[in-house]
Structure 1
């Protein structure tokens, strides 16, 4: 294994682990004040300067080198895709975390590659293999086990939260499919910068509208947790995952991302004091195994090639 490939694995694993801390930051913030729109607005406001900086740097570099910039329609498409993939998805995710545990939220979100497969097959000419079907079945069987275990304890809250986070995964899956063709022309860094900058502005406007003003006041601890969520669970992992994808295949990155629910579950138990039973363990293992089967099937279907894809949700 050469040095660049090893670095790619390290970047991808670190990015996936940092992305996994998002739900922990949010749950801790909700202990201070349960206000999903405010937490989301502060998180994205923290991230906005970095993603705007990425856009400015790419535009400056293109002008310096005399290269043409993407046409206006692609900029508009990237803005609309960002609002779908990060504003709407993140809003659904943050609202869902009011009702369900960080562990269940992570497992529900982790199923979005299956949604990409199904929607791609239905509307984008994608193919489904028997291995993909098997992986999907194992994934959702495991998710159902964890859901049924949580249902008696949480009741309607578990249903509401799970539906909201499934909506988050669905909108992000659609975003992934729409984003691929834009990234081919715009490049991953420019597209990610434009999409996340647009979503950040949308999140801030959303909070101003629903709160009826520009009052962003909260406790110092809430501010620090929102800042941590913006930097350590959004900005850093976004660039780390892209750095990893530039060195290893997307399929390898998908396999490495299997550490994501493991990290979230471990932190949820250690930091938040959430319970973790044998049913949670079996269900979580089934979800991770199902996605692993899905990734292996995808790797066999498409010969390994280096490609740069949009960053993963936790961007939601």
Structure 2
């Protein structure tokens, strides 16, 4: 009886982590829509990411200070790892992503970013000798097939800058995969709140410092909608999904959390239709079914 209770509890723990990962992915994917709306006001990527991190910094700084009072001092090695995580995960990755969004559609951006699970699985298998189950590969393949169908029309997008934008976003995907792998090792030691708040403070400082190096202070003066959209970008597309992703990583592991995030492209599809008036085709709906099928396979993973 005790073993059955433990198994049931473990299943609930896994499924709750999977749901948190999916919800975080949906919120995180919304940043592409918000970015496209902000770009309508002729704001560049450097300024966009500065507003995003400046509005989210007070939340992360407050949590970081609280965690510092509650926890022992970090060893020097862990401090450097946190600095690297902050620079790789939410500075470099976010900057490359928003920079690439200036050249390609939100749909193509989502397609490229969700190569991340492949990088996470490959890095886990090569560097940490983590076995990849057939079910995980099946979920990955089914979901990727769905993503390809969902955004097939975006792959026909022309223009001289498409290759540049695609490479920038690909760099963002690789950077974020490294972040997920490294955070998966460190989150068990520090806890999700402490890890995320410290790393995001580093990232925020880097983004804001970059702005004052590359742009004049006068560019901080923008139309009111830019500030409101940036606040949405900071709270709902940054703060909430960042913590939800870390909680999910702690519960179900970096690889599974990354795979669950493949629901993001589907959410971007419907959000784009609602906010940007982008049409939804039969091919896109078929892709949605496949991605949801991949999520179902993940929910059936044995633990």
TM over 0.5: yes
Task: Note if 1:119 corresponds to 2:128.
Answer: no
Change (3 A) 1:208 1:20: same
Name the residue aligned to 2:32.
23
Determine which of 58, 61, 64 is the counterpart of 1:49.
58
Q: Is this contact kept in 1: 2:107–2:268, CA < 8 A?
A: yes
Q: Distance in 2 between matches of 1:243 and 1:208?
A: 33
Evaluate the alpha carbon distance shift between residue 34 and residue 261 of structure 1 in structure 2; reply closer, same or farther with a 3 A threshold: same
The DSSP-based 3-state class of the residue aligned with 1:32 is coil
Counterpart residue number, 2:242: 238
Q: Is the 8 A contact 2:32 2:101 kept in 1?
A: yes
- For 1:208, the equivalent position in structure 2 comes to 212
Residue 263 of structure 1 is matched in structure 2 by 267
Rounded Cα–Cα distance in structure 2 between residues aligned with 1:83 and 1:286: 34
Q: Are 1:159 and 2:163 counterparts?
A: yes
Q: Greater share of helix residues, 1 or 2?
A: 2
Using the alignment, how far apart are the partners of 2:131 and 2:244 within structure 1?
30
Once the two structures are superposed, residues 158-183 of structure 1 have per-residue CA deviations (whole angstroms, 9 ceiling, x without a partner) of 43333322221111111111222222
What's the secondary structure of 2:276's corresponding residue? coil
The 5 Å alignment of 1:157-306 reads 157-211=161-215, 215-242=219-246, 249=252, 257=261, 259-287=263-291, 289-290=293-294, 293=297, 295=298, 299-300=301-302, 303=303
The farther-off stretch of 227-236 and 14-23 is: 14-23
Could you tell me the TM-score, scaled by structure 1's length? 0.79
Query: C-alpha displacement at 1:133, in angstroms?
Result: 3.7
When the two structures are aligned, how many residues end up with a matched partner? 292
The gaps in structure 1 that reach 5 residues or longer are 63-67, 304-316
Hey, what's the Cα distance between the residues in 2 that align with 1:262 and 1:170?
21
Using the TM superposition, give the Cα deviation of residue 93 of structure 1 relative to its aligned residue in structure 2, in angstroms: 0.9
TM-score (structure 2 length as normaliser)? 0.82
Deviation at 1:48? 0.8
Query: How far has the Cα of 1:143 moved from its partner?
Result: 4.4
Greater CA drift, 49-58 or 95-104: 95-104
Unaligned runs of 5+ in 2: 1-7
1:238 CA drift (Å): 2.9
